[in-house]
Amino acid sequence: MSITSYIMPITAALILTIGLFKKVDIFDEFIKGARENLKTGIEICPALITLVLTIGIFRQSGALDILTQLISPLCARIGYPAECIALAMIRPISGSGATAVFEDILSNCGAESFASRVAAVMMGSSETTFYTIAVYFSVTKVKRLRHTLFCSLLGDFACFIASFVLVNMLYSINF
């Protein structure tokens, strides 16, 4: 049995021990925390519902496919896998949408293909930018994005380029 099997029981025992030592009503504090988290969940629901609806419209309308087809010739010139274009566009918007696109790449190209490797690095090293901004900014009640969105999308773009470059470098090496 590995140490990971013991992490949760040890953490729970540690919390209970510290709570008893400091004479804290652990159950009452748990209920307060649950109440606060429920309020937070209710506060972010409108932003999440809007985001999910927008993603659905974007994918079902065919806009994602049209954008992918427009960008494909440019990407083909530099050797960027056409299969990863849709992933690069959907990843900043939706984690579950990106997972569906990633699964399509794996099933259509094979797990050992160049496109699948680039997609795997993209998935592991990028963020669902719009989701993160929607959640954090709605919880903190921040109204002005200032440079957050631009810088976040620039970081995502750098991640997509870096994943292609690094996988291209490592893919050419025979281990």
Has residue 129 got a pLDDT over 70? yes
29 within a domain of the structure (yes/no): no
Is residue 23 in a domain?
A: no
Q: What is the pLDDT of residue 116?
A: 94
Task: Identify the domain containing residue 120 by its residue range.
Answer: 42-171
Give CA–CA dist 146/173, Å, rounded. 42
| Residue 7, in any domain of the structure | no
**pTM (two decimals):** 0.68
Beta carbons of 92 and 134 less than 8 angstroms apart:
no
Q: Does residue 63 carry a pLDDT above 60?
A: yes
In this predicted model, what pLDDT tens digit does every residue of 17-30 receive, in sequence order? Answer: 998 899 888 889 98
- Angle, helix 148-171 to helix 83-90, in steps of 10 degrees: 150
Domain-located, residue 143? yes
Does residue 26 lie in a domain region? no
Number of domains forming the structure of the chain: 1
In the predicted model, is pLDDT for residue 163 greater than 90? yes
